[in-house]
Amino acid sequence: KGKKIFQRISEVMKSLSFSSEEFHLEFTQPEKTILQAKKLAKITEKLIAVGGDGTAAQVIAGAYQSGNFPLIGIIPLGVGNDLARVLGIYDLFKKRGVEGCIQQFLKGYSTPLDLWRVNEKEYIINYLGIGFDARIVHSFSQIRRLIPFSSVLIKKVAYAIIGFFYSFSRLKGRVSLTYWTGKEKNFFNLTGYSLVVISNIPLYAGGTLLVPEGNCADGLLEITLFPRTTSVLKFFIEQKILGGWGISRRLKKLQNMPGVRVNLFQHFLRSRNKFGMTVRGEIPKRVRDDSGGEISKSEERDKVQGEKIIVFQPPVRRIKHYRAKQIEVLLNFGNYLQIDGEDKTYLLNEPKIKIEYQGQVFLLPGN
């Protein structure tokens, strides 16, 4: 698939009157993606990552390390594609493919994203997970080393099987988390917990809305705690099935109305626990009433795009989140840790996990 996309990008760029000297394409190399991105970021104004969350995270990290800070875009080819979903690129790619993404990137609109550093070694772009999800990522990584495969469908099936196998795993030994909100210091004893997620973006694990009030550029992380695996499963059922079902019905009503084009987005909403969408065209009153939505004013977006914003309240319970400017975690080796869907359990060889704010990069959104 990578080779086909490579060829397609070249075709699209040439169709847009770019000569071969005006753009550069290269395949990422295992263990060298950050270095590649760092090198390329020094000689370009826009740098596009083609792949999943892991590839995007490495390209962003490399670009930041370059000190040049180009605008960064993503063409999503992964399993979760959480950052691409937050940016609105995932839906754009599904609808309009590579050409639609590149045309959007060329407009030059940008949006900021916070970067966080873990033990001065790794960057958090999307989220860090300790426990259940990291155990799945660790096992998946081991399987892929033995049996390499690239199919997205096979990856999803593998994740599901591994998740079922480790569904009742818990954190081992004494585990504690300390976080700071300004000068205030807070402490949690997490011994026996199932999962801890530290989020930089609202979405988690393939588009699940974990932190509705999350802001990608506010200098804060969101901590979500799941004491038991049953609480994790309940959350996914409520968000993926109950919430998603209601939203999809409302979307269908809008999409079937003549002259209405709908673009769902889930990023940078200031409304708590709500889904948002921008709509081009006139929205009949009865559709608004039936959907249970409300019109929310956004002067800047209306002025630029001439769009209205509809906000829907998904029928799910709220989960408690804790906002933090700095975090430290103490846990024993024998547990598991993942960052942006990549196994980073090696960090547990150190006495503690320390997460600190690093800076910002600017990304190319899908709308």
User: pLDDT value at position 98?
Assistant: 92
Residue 346 pLDDT more than 90? Answer: yes
What's the pLDDT band for 261 if we cut at 50, 70, 90? Answer: low
Q: How many CA atoms lie within 13 A of 315 on its CB side?
A: 9
Q: Report the candidate in 338, 333, 324, 326 with the shortest Cα–Cα distance to residue 351.
A: 333
Task: Specify the higher pLDDT residue, 70 or 108.
Answer: 70
User: pLDDT value at position 282?
Assistant: 59
Task: Specify the higher pLDDT residue, 231 or 43.
Answer: 43
Q: Can you give the pTM of this predicted structure?
A: 0.79
Residue 105 pLDDT more than 50? Answer: yes
Residues 212-225: tens digit of each pLDDT: 778 899 999 999 99
* Burial group, residue 279, by CB count within 10 angstroms (0-12, 13-18, 19+): buried
Residue 190 pLDDT more than 80? Answer: yes
How far from 19 is each of 13, 16, 108, 113, CA to CA, in Å? 8, 9, 19, 31
Domain 2-109 matching CATH 3.30.43.10: the answer reads no
Least confident of 12-21, 261-270, 335-344: 261-270
How far from 2 is each of 27, 34, 53, 76, 109, CA to CA, in Å? 8, 18, 15, 11, 26
Residues 39-69: tens digit of each pLDDT: 999 999 999 999 989 899 999 999 999 988 8
Contacts of 93 (CB under 8 A, 6+ apart): 75, 76, 84, 100, 101, 366
Q: How many CB atoms lie within 10 A of CB 253?
A: 16
Largest CA distance in the chain: 61
Token duo for residue 165 = 């196998």
Helix-, strand-, coil-residue percentages of the chain, each rounded to 5: 35, 30, 35
Return the CATH architecture of domain 127-235+318-357: Sandwich (2.60)
User: pLDDT value at position 318?
Assistant: 62
**Mean pLDDT value of segment 237-243:** 65
Token duo for residue 231 = 């609480």
User: pLDDT value at position 262?
Assistant: 56
User: pLDDT value at position 188?
Assistant: 94
Contacts of 194 (CB under 8 A, 6+ apart): 131, 132, 169, 170, 171, 226, 227, 228, 229, 231, 232
User: pLDDT value at position 153?
Assistant: 77
User: pLDDT value at position 257?
Assistant: 62
For all residues of the chain together, what is the average pLDDT? 81
Cβ atoms of 18 and 106 within 8 Å: the answer is no
Q: How many CB atoms lie within 10 A of CB 2?
A: 12
What's the pLDDT band for 269 if we cut at 50, 70, 90? Answer: very low
Residues 295-332: tens digit of each pLDDT: 444 433 333 344 555 555 554 456 788 999 999 999 98
* Phi, psi dihedrals of residue 226, rounded to the nearest 5°: -120, 105
User: pLDDT value at position 236?
Assistant: 76
What's the pLDDT band for 31 if we cut at 50, 70, 90? Answer: confident
Please name the residue that has the structure tokens 């596009």: 48
**Mean pLDDT value of segment 246-274:** 52
**DSSP character string of 110-175:** -EEEEEEEETTTEEESSEEEEEHHHHHHHHHHHHHHHS----HHHHHHHHHHHHHHTTT----S--
